[in-house]
Amino acid sequence: MSIDEKTVAKVAKLARIALPEERLAPMTHELNGILNWIEQLQEVDVEGVEAMASSVHAALPLRKDELKTDETGGGRPEEVVANAPRTEDHFFVVPKVVE
Amino acid sequence: MSDPTDLSLAQLRDALAAKDVSSAEATDAYLSKIEGASALNAYVRVEGDKAREAAKASDDRRAKGEAGPLEGVPLGIKDLFCTKGIPSTAASRILEGFTPPYESTVTSNLLRDGAVFLGKLNMDEFAMGSSNETSAFGPVINPWRKSGSNATHIGADGKVEGGLTPGGSSGGSSSAVAAHLCAAATATDTGGSIRQPASLTATVGVKPTYGRCSRWGIVAFASSLDQAGPIARDVRDAAIMLRSMAGHDPKDSTSIDRPVPDYEAALGQGVKGLKVGVPKEYRLDGMPSEIEALWQQGIDWMRDAGAEVVEISLPLTKYALPVYYIVAPAEASSNLARYDGVKYGLRVEDPDIQTMYAKTRAAGFGQEVQRRILIGTYVLSAGYYDAYYLRAQKVRKKIADEMNEAFGSVDLMLTPSTPSAAFGLGEKSSDPVEMYLNDVFTVTANLAGIPGVSVPAGIDAQGLPLGLQLLGRPFDEETLLRGAKAIEDAAGFTARPEKWW
């Protein structure tokens, strides 16, 4: 399966990456180089094989649904927004999205 | 006291304990050495003031009798680890100006044990690369150089000419450890990013079992494959580092709750009676004869040390890299969706929010990262998911099963670490797939989640180092490191890069 420029443009849109017109052809060529090489996986018989998402077999651990005061916990709005390019009070500021 | 930067981590630890040297002295010695090695571009950020303060605090702790296992030892930290109050960029423009308000679990563990951080080490952008050329801070240079007239040197304009890669993605870590710009370094390995750079710089790199070290606070690339580990000067140093870095962390749901053994104590046990498998499929067409010869040498060393060496077969080996280049980009495209110009890092303004996202990501991500996000987005998109992503996950399962089955009859596997010695910067950057092939021997360990180590074993005709790789059973890093020590002892590798920078 090879990928054409139209599909690359669509994928770039899905990935939210602005791809300038002059990059479209070279990027398509580069991606096809990778995809053609990956193609060899079609040779492998995967009938009845279970898909593997992780090498960890342990059950996902659960914790109590409560606010923690450690670094993964809430109650730290200043730190959450500290690195944002634009903020107001404890909010991230983005361009207007609702008319 | 002679130059403390000449001491291995173990020797420095002992010298600090004996009060032959203070952490302040060792830290100062490293900082001045780093200053004189800027041509290597190993550090993206040196934290001199913070390091000196930390060293002083460490000396105070020692005076009070509160010394930890790494008390006062100066380390370099790969810029993929979030460090509290110290900018952490993953060598990407998109994380410009990001200063984490938290400390990654692995670096917290090192601080808990008394370590001093010298600064942040260069790397491929988001750990995507095998040569360190994708870094937004420019490539790292390998302190090793070819013998003869085309050797790396500083040109008339003060710039490095003929530089070789230190490998990637942990190229800052490998270069800094090889040039003695830190006692040891943290690194991460998603497809070979610890072992390949270690092999190219004559350092020891350990990729632990998936789940051994917490991933919390490490900038995510491919979450089911990423694992932190050390790059160090020798096997003992790597064992000491790993013990401090490893451990269960409730903040990482894939971190495994198992006791962390004293790896250093296991080193003396040797390999007598162990069974070492040599996978015949790792004998590649066109592999340099020197690597082939070194591999045979390694087999002889293991036999001489009392191990039984047997040939094994892993027929699915050749599919590991193609699987990786579906699974890793798929996970990366999802993980890197968070860089949108809203929460942290770079933003390219536009009145339309969708355009703002797209412009920000185009400006912030380098070409290799963009390629991988696009591949990942494509293989996960409707119509292609089953043919690419699901199929890759199934082949991954078969590869992992094949690997685990082989470990039913052997304790370790012995392979070359890399298909070539260090290559020139720019030599392989035009063809992505050629660059990807660097990880042909290392990537299976990531897919299967098993531990691996690269140990310096020989020097090629051009004077460049070559490594051998050992693979082990899940959570059996002790046997892995015993094997590594046996290779190290037999190889008697003492060569060092001469200073040209």
| B322, B346, B365: residue with CB nearest A40 | B322
Angle between helices A5-14 and B367-380 (to 10 degrees): 90
Q: Is B381 a catalytic residue?
A: no
B145 in contact with A, Cβ within 8 Å: no
pLDDT by 10s per residue, chain B, length 501: 589 999 999 999 999 999 999 999 999 999 999 999 999 999 999 999 999 999 999 999 999 999 999 999 999 999 999 999 999 999 999 999 999 999 999 999 999 999 999 999 999 999 999 999 999 999 999 999 999 877 999 999 989 999 999 999 999 999 999 999 999 999 999 999 999 999 999 999 999 999 999 999 999 999 999 999 999 999 999 999 999 999 999 999 999 999 999 999 999 999 999 999 999 999 988 888 999 999 999 999 999 999 999 999 999 999 999 999 999 999 999 999 999 999 999 999 999 999 999 999 999 999 999 999 999 999 999 899 999 999 999 999 999 999 999 999 999 999 999 999 999 999 998 888 989 999 999 999 999 999 999 999 999 999 999 999 999 999 999 999 999 999 999 999 999 999 999
Q: Tell me, what's the pLDDT at B443?
A: 98
CA B37 to chain centre: 20
How far lies B440's CA from each of A30, A53, B389, B410, in Å?
20, 21, 20, 21
Residue to test with chain B: of A36, A37, A38, most B Cβ within 10 A: A38
List CB contacts of B108: < 8 A, sequence separation 6 or more.
B217
Across chain A, mean pLDDT equals 91
Here the contacts of B299-305 (C-beta below 8 Å, separation 24 or greater) are B299/B414, B301/B486, B301/B487, B301/B490, B301/B491, B302/B271, B302/B276, B302/B414, B302/B483, B302/B486, B302/B487, B304/B490, B305/B270, B305/B271, B305/B272, B305/B486, B305/B489, B305/B490
Q: Beta partners for B413?
A: B277, B471
Which residue in B has a C-alpha nearest to residue A91's C-alpha? B343
pLDDT of residue B1: 59
Using a CB-CB cut-off of 8 Å, the residues of chain B touching A8 are: 374
Interface test with B, best of A4, A22, A34, A96 (most B CBs within 10 A): A34
Give CA–CA dist B415/B169, Å, rounded.
20
The model's pLDDT over A44-69, given as tens digits with 9 standing for 90+, comes to: 999 999 999 888 887 888 888 887 77
DSSP letter assigned to residue B388: I
| Options B130, B170, B193, B333, the catalytic residue | B193
Residues in chain B with CB shorter than 8 Å from the CB of A15 are: 333, 361, 373-374, 377
Whole-number pLDDT of residue A57: 80
Q: What is the pLDDT of residue A66?
A: 81
- Binary contact (B398, A49; C-beta < 8 A): yes
B216 CA: distance to closest CA in chain A (Å): 10
Helix (H), strand (E) at residue B184: strand B184-189
- Dihedrals φ, ψ of B413, to 5°? -125, 145
Q: How far apart are CA B140 and CA B44, in angstroms?
A: 10
CB B155 within 8 A of CB B474: no
Q: Residue B178 region, left (φ>0) first, then alpha (ψ -120 to 50), else beta?
A: alpha
Residue A34 to residue B375, Cβ atoms within 8 A: yes
The answer to whether the CB of B383 falls within 8 A of the CB of A37 is no
CB nearest A72 (choices: B251, B337, B433): B251
**In which residue are the tokens 């270690």 written?**
B198
Contacts of B391 in chain A (CB under 8 A): 41-42, 44, 46
Task: Count CB-CB contacts under 10 A for residue B43.
Answer: 26
DSSP characters for chain A?
----HHHHHHHHHHTT----HHHHHHHHHHHHHHHHHHGGGGGS--TTPPP---S--SPPP---SS--SSTTSSS-HHHHHTT-SSEETTEE-------
Residues of A in contact with B471 (CB under 8 A): none
Asked if pLDDT for residue A1 goes beyond 70, the answer is no
Contact A34, A28 (CB under 8 A): no
Closest partner residue to A15 among B98, B343, B373, by Cβ? Answer: B373
Contact B11, B21 (CB under 8 A): no
* Per-residue pLDDT band at A71 (split at 50, 70, 90): low
Is B78 annotated in the active site?
Answer: yes
Nearest residue of B to residue A10, measured between CA atoms: B378
Chain B residues with beta carbon closer than 8 angstroms to that of A54: 210, 224, 254, 449
Domains and CATH numbers, chain B: 4-281+292-314+405-491 (3.90.1300.10)
- Quick check: pTM over 0.80? yes
Between CA A85 and CA A95 the distance in angstroms is 12
Q: How many CB atoms within 10 Å of residue B426?
A: 12
ipTM: 0.95
The neighbour count for residue B63, using CB atoms within 10 Å, is 11
From the candidates B33, B78, B207, B485, which is the catalytic residue?
B78
Determine the pLDDT at residue B231.
Answer: 98
Quickly tell me which residue has 């809203």 as its tokens. Answer: B342
Of B318, B361, B431, the CB nearest to A17: B361
User: By three-state DSSP, how is residue B292 classified?
Assistant: helix
Residues with Cβ < 8 Å from A89, sequence gap 6 or more?
none
Please give the mean pLDDT across all residues of chain B.
97
B196 vs B469: CA distance, rounded Å? 9
> CB–CB of B329/B375 below 8 Å?
yes
Tokens of B403: 């690997």
pLDDT of res. B470: 98
